[in-house]
Chains A and B, each alone.
Chain A
Amino acid sequence: MPALLTMRNVSKSFLGVRVLSDVSLDLEAGEVHALVGENGAGKSTLMKVLAGEHTPDSGTIRIDGTEHSFSHPSQAQAAGIGIIHQEFALLPHRTVAENVFLGREPVRRGRVDRRAMEERTAQLLTELGEHGITPRTYVHDLSVARQQTVEIVKALVGRASPKDPGASDVRVLVMDEPTAPLADHEVSLLHDLVHRLTDRGLGILYISHRLREVFDLSRRITVLKDGRHITTVPTAETDTDQVVRAMVGRELGTYYPPRARPEEIGDAALTVRGAGNTRINGIDLDLRAGEVTGIAGLQGSGRTSLARALFGAAPFTEGTMTVAGRTLRPGSPRQAIRAGIALVTEDRKAEGLALRQSIRDNALLVTRAVHARGRPPAGRALTGLLERVTLQSRGEDQQARYLSGGNQQKVVIAKWLAAGPRVLLFDEPTRGVDVGAKSAIHTLVRELARDGLAVLIVSSELPELIGMSDRILVMADGRLAGELPAGADEEDIMRLATGGDRREDAV
């Protein structure tokens, strides 16, 4: 019996650069097949070839033994391939049902059959155990986790025939970093969903940087590196170390750099007393030079709001804040930046980078905007800065959008370092970043702390938070629920994060 999906010797080049060479992969029905590799390994390209977004230069794609070649995403859909993109392809101002059936609206008597769309959407949502979404909800009113569920339902609907609107003939579901936008407690819900999908006989190609998930979920693991197929192994017969070795081609020693020694921690660079706004309140906080402070909490607990308040993006409306001895409550990012505060935001593409501008322009964005009088670092100084953040690129003129997630994040960090901050705030510093770049960013963050910066990290990835932080503050319901010393375990954190009025729903 032929495999559900077989890709053989797929190659693809862009502008003469080989990004995939002779990659082969197969997928059985009811299987979760994990695809791992560093950024730039070719996972996304392989996925886009499968999705019909790129046409391969050579190689074949067979579904149930039938060969296909796709030149448009709709053809891949018609062949039964559904894709969950890392960035959702949802229209915020349309309803759930309209999104689910986008591009394949059922038509009855010449008109779009809304009722059929809504009934089928509701049915699928129920089948997937999702009861909080109605088909007529506008997507912008949904939480990120629920938007993802909508994406999954959308992928399942596949190519409906007019006679049987919404007949699900999707056989292969590709999920690209599906847990990246999710909070911890949402991840297990997604995993339940994945199991329900495989029970229906779907084959799932699961792309993720989070190896723990890969091991929890997959039956087989395929490792790509530099556009080549390295290995495919049954998950039960391998372990994390082997996979990581295959991915990076070297052993990764300890994942996290050593923490600060007590004598390296200096005075408070930023002090907050009794501060709050509509989302957070009663915040007392000291960020000390040389120290990495971690902020934990469930999604919606106010982690991001705290970082944004400190940065003046959603300012505190009460309380006091002192930066390097000066009283100042920033009312705008500009004021915060002038006081030496920097924020690496959660959403790199929307808030961190001007994607169509060059690495150079991005790196100089803050200095040009705020320190208009001073000479922005140019030439050697800029090159030095980019080397410092270990950026890998084709040159300073390369547009930021062509960089991998890890390298994009390094550009964002360089942008802030160019402004010479005292306090560096990170919101999800390594989201969507591959293993290699992740450890480079961790090392860099520690070096910056050692140079005397006060660092704050907000992260929903608890191992990262525990590994990086010199102390951990846990938020719940807009307040600081408690403080834990370095090396606290996940259980301690979750206990504080979920204590008190526990909120089931993510905001």
Chain B
Amino acid sequence: MTDTALAPPQPPVKHSAVRASRLTDPAVGVWLAALAVTLLGWLVVTLDGGTFFSRANIVVILSNCVALGLVAVGQTAVILTGSLDLSVAYLIGLGTLVAAETMESGSVFGAILMVLALSAAVGLANGLVVTGLKVNAFIATLGTGFILRGWIEDNYTGPAGKVPASFQRLGYDRIGPVPVSVFLLVAVALALWVLLKHTRLGHHMYATGGDEHAARLSGVRTRRTVVLAHVLCSLCVGAAALFLASRLGAGAPWAGTEARYDLESIAAVVLGGTVLAGGRGGVAGTLGGVLVLAVLDSVFNQLSVDPFFKNVVRGVVIIAAVALYARRGSRRSA
């Protein structure tokens, strides 16, 4: 799937080009930042005597992008809609377990369906709690996260299940320096991008996040939109769980929480210029944000920087980015 194949002749293409060319657009900025970070990393690592653009290193950066990227793309959907999902880390853990255990006893295909069904159910629950019970998304998803955690702790003490070699290829096969799993991320991101820009649901998600009242008054079924956004998010998280299961070869209860995918994904989304309150932003920026985080990680690992310094830099980058976006936003509305 490419842009040109999807787009009917002229106006829409021109339209997105007009938008992207706005230099105030954070989605452009974050990709430039990713480029800058990459060049800077290359410079620093080379001066340090290492090779940054080695095949092994590129593979590591890209595979690191995949899991966070899938989660962050899903997170983009809920954040754009004005919601949030903090249950993703636990869903990942449970997802890897379900995947590995089902694959051990049954078929790979069945396992994929199981994981996606589980994810959709969790997303549906999140969405219904947020919209139906009117619980703030922060609390609602924290709550479902706790419930999932309880289930995991009660039933698992460590890794469980086994992923067959055939499915592990998703995690390890690659074409040149590019892991095949990158195509999974690209496909999911592209699908969500098309959904956001070119479907009614996408338009309604932006509208609901931008101003829920205005959207409702315009006839948008805002509740349903929020619920669907949560389902989409959880499906992306399910995909991340499948990827991690294939990567780890087994179900890992804490695969999601150890990497802190909940807060990391929100950081990537915000770094990518999506407004935390919803209504503005998009998938392209999020992928840029993921790349910035992954490249930073790789640079720090190569330089064996101490973890304190590493996290300080990450924190500064995120805060600086959002401060920059805030300045732009206020200048434009002034």
Instruction: Show the binding face of A for B, using Cβ within 8 Å.
Output: 51, 53, 72-74, 77, 83, 85, 88-94, 98, 102-105, 107, 109-112, 114-115, 118, 136, 140, 154, 159
* Interchain CA distance A51-B219 in the complex, whole Å: 10
Question: What residues of A have a CB within 8 angstroms of the CB of B202 in the complex?
Answer: 112
Beyond the given pairs A88-B214, A91-B206, A98-B206, 11 more chain A to chain B contacts, judged by CB atoms under 8 angstroms and listed by A's residue number, are A77-B219, A89-B214, A92-B333, A93-B280, A94-B206, A102-B215, A104-B219, A105-B203, A111-B199, A112-B200, A118-B11
Give the distance to chain B from A115, nearest Cβ to Cβ, in Å.
5
B219 touching A98, Cβ below 8 Å: no
Interface residue tally for chain B (C-beta within 8 Å):
30
Which residue in B199, B200, B218 is a CB contact (below 8 Å) of A89?
B218
Which residue in A93, A102, A111, A136 is a CB contact (below 8 Å) of B218?
A102
* Interchain CA distance A104-B215 in the complex, whole Å: 11
Any A CB within 8 A of the CB of B220: yes
B11 touching A73, Cβ below 8 Å: no
Question: What residues of A have a CB within 8 angstroms of the CB of B207 in the complex?
Answer: 91, 94, 102-103
Q: 21 A-B contacts, Cβ less than 8 Å apart?
A: A51-B217, A72-B221, A77-B219, A91-B207, A102-B215, A103-B204, A103-B215, A103-B218, A104-B219, A107-B200, A109-B8, A110-B199, A111-B194, A112-B198, A112-B199, A112-B203, A114-B15, A115-B8, A115-B11, A140-B333, A154-B218
Grouping DSSP codes into helix (H, G, I), strand (E, B) and loop, the B interface class, with mixed when no group exceeds half, is helix
A102 touching B203, Cβ below 8 Å: yes
Given known A-B contacts A112-B199, A140-B333, A83 and B206 have beta carbons under 8 A apart: no
Question: What residues of B have a CB within 8 angstroms of the CB of A104 in the complex?
Answer: 219
* Interchain CA distance A72-B217 in the complex, whole Å: 9
* Interchain CA distance A58-B200 in the complex, whole Å: 35
Residue of A nearest to B203 (CB): A105
B279 touching A103, Cβ below 8 Å: no
Give the distance to chain B from A451, nearest Cβ to Cβ, in Å.
37
Residue of A nearest to B210 (CB): A91
Report which residue of A73, A90, A93, A98 has the largest number of chain B beta carbons within 10 angstroms of its beta carbon.
Answer: A93
Question: What residues of B have a CB within 8 angstroms of the CB of A91 in the complex?
Answer: 206-207, 210-211, 214-215, 279
* Interchain CA distance A402-B244 in the complex, whole Å: 51
Report which residue of A72, A90, A107, A114 has the largest number of chain B beta carbons within 10 angstroms of its beta carbon.
Answer: A114
A73 touching B217, Cβ below 8 Å: yes
* Interchain CA distance A112-B11 in the complex, whole Å: 12
Any A CB within 8 A of the CB of B134: no
B185-218 vs A, CB cutoff 8 Å, 1 = contact: the mask equals 0000000001001111011101100110111111
Residue of A nearest to B198 (CB): A111
Any A CB within 8 A of the CB of B331: no
Given known A-B contacts A73-B216, A94-B207, A102-B218, A136 and B18 have beta carbons under 8 A apart: yes
Question: What residues of B have a CB within 8 angstroms of the CB of A140 in the complex?
Answer: 332-333
* Interchain CA distance A94-B209 in the complex, whole Å: 12
Residue of A nearest to B214 (CB): A89
Give the distance to chain B from A392, nearest Cβ to Cβ, in Å.
26
* Interchain CA distance A114-B18 in the complex, whole Å: 14
* Interchain CA distance A118-B15 in the complex, whole Å: 11
Given known A-B contacts A91-B279, A136-B15, A136-B18, A102 and B211 have beta carbons under 8 A apart: no
Question: What residues of A have a CB within 8 angstroms of the CB of B216 in the complex?
Answer: 73
Which residue in B213, B217, B279 is a CB contact (below 8 Å) of A93?
B279
B214 touching A90, Cβ below 8 Å: yes
Question: What residues of B have a CB within 8 angstroms of the CB of A94 in the complex?
Answer: 206-207, 210
Question: What residues of B have a CB within 8 angstroms of the CB of A103 in the complex?
Answer: 204, 207, 215, 218-220
Any A CB within 8 A of the CB of B12: yes
* Interchain CA distance A93-B332 in the complex, whole Å: 11
Give the distance to chain B from A218, nearest Cβ to Cβ, in Å.
25
* Interchain CA distance A74-B204 in the complex, whole Å: 13
Which residue in B200, B203, B217, B332 is a CB contact (below 8 Å) of A85?
B217
Residue of B nearest to A85 (CB): B217
Residue of A nearest to B211 (CB): A91
Question: What residues of B have a CB within 8 angstroms of the CB of A53 in the complex?
Answer: 217
Give the distance to chain B from A389, nearest Cβ to Cβ, in Å.
29
Given known A-B contacts A73-B216, A91-B279, A140-B332, A114 and B204 have beta carbons under 8 A apart: no
Question: What residues of A have a CB within 8 angstroms of the CB of B280 in the complex?
Answer: 93
* Interchain CA distance A245-B332 in the complex, whole Å: 47
Give the distance to chain A from B173, nearest Cβ to Cβ, in Å.
32
Question: What residues of A have a CB within 8 angstroms of the CB of B11 in the complex?
Answer: 114-115, 118
Give the distance to chain A from B81, nearest Cβ to Cβ, in Å.
13
Q: Which 7 A-B residue pairings sit nearest by Cβ, starting from the closest?
A: A103-B219, A74-B219, A89-B214, A103-B218, A91-B210, A102-B218, A111-B198
Question: What residues of B have a CB within 8 angstroms of the CB of A109 in the complex?
Answer: 8
Question: What residues of A have a CB within 8 angstroms of the CB of B211 in the complex?
Answer: 89, 91
Give the distance to chain A from B168, nearest Cβ to Cβ, in Å.
35
Question: What residues of A have a CB within 8 angstroms of the CB of B200 in the complex?
Answer: 105, 107, 112
* Interchain CA distance A72-B216 in the complex, whole Å: 9
Give the distance to chain B from A422, nearest Cβ to Cβ, in Å.
30
Residue of B nearest to A108 (CB): B8
* Interchain CA distance A73-B222 in the complex, whole Å: 11
Residue of A nearest to B332 (CB): A140
Question: What residues of A have a CB within 8 angstroms of the CB of B203 in the complex?
Answer: 98, 102, 105, 112
B40-58 vs A, CB cutoff 8 Å, 1 = contact: the mask equals 0000000000000000000
* Interchain CA distance A111-B16 in the complex, whole Å: 15
Question: What residues of A have a CB within 8 angstroms of the CB of B221 in the complex?
Answer: 72, 74
* Interchain CA distance A274-B160 in the complex, whole Å: 78
* Interchain CA distance A111-B198 in the complex, whole Å: 5
A89 touching B219, Cβ below 8 Å: no
Give the distance to chain B from A401, nearest Cβ to Cβ, in Å.
12
Give the distance to chain B from A211, nearest Cβ to Cβ, in Å.
28
Give the distance to chain B from A35, nearest Cβ to Cβ, in Å.
19
* Interchain CA distance A161-B259 in the complex, whole Å: 48
